[in-house]
Structure 1
Amino acid sequence: MPPLYPKVKPNPLQKANLCSRLFFWWLNPLFKIGHKWKLEEDDMYSVLPEDRSQCLGEELQGYWDQEVLRAQEDAREPSLMKAIVKCYGKSYLVWGMLTCLEEAEEWLLMAKILWAESYH
């Protein structure tokens, strides 16, 4: 009988240094394999411990329990959306702001060019 959980490669992100994390160098071996042939399940790295469903589920469960208690105090129905936003909202807000800055960069560059051209 084949093993229930096949042996997977350890995730190199766990031991990656700051430069490797910033520039995604830790993914280069996977990119090389993907360039040579189609990636298979055996080529993939294991999931990081903090990204496992068990860990994330327990974190969300804590926020859900808090939401249920608050809802009982306020005599209302608990909101799963509020629990999700409290659990994951900060990280998505940061990534959203960085994405907005990245998108605004083009507009700001265009505004600078138009401003510089107007003085010549």
Structure 2
Amino acid sequence: MIPRLTVLALFAAFALAGAAAADDGRPVTVALTLKDHRFTPDRVSVPAGQPIRIELVNQDAASEEFDSDDLRVEKDVTPHGRASFTVGPLKPGTYAFMGELHADTASGEIVAVGP
């Protein structure tokens, strides 16, 4: 039987290793899906201070353009296509985005949460 103190020590070591990996400058990946001219999810929380890699899948039969003045990005995605791009690192705050070709329904926001 493993002593309780050993189990707690191992748990703490894995937790610290995970925190270090999350803060090593590698992008945090956010998966967004476009369907029926709407983003899913339409609100995403991410850690502030890290680059964010957005993986966008368009399930619609129409093209769309991911557009955000807040994030300073415009990215086209073809019908039934995929696009990926990196933004940030972001300061704490809320960053709006939209599908420029269907702005009446395709919108969302990324919330960068600080420590």
The alignment's TM-score, normalised by the length of structure 1, stands at 0.20
Which structure is richer in relative contact order (CA contacts within 8 A, separation 6 or more)? 2
Structure with the larger helix share = 1
Give the greater-gyration-radius structure (CA): 1
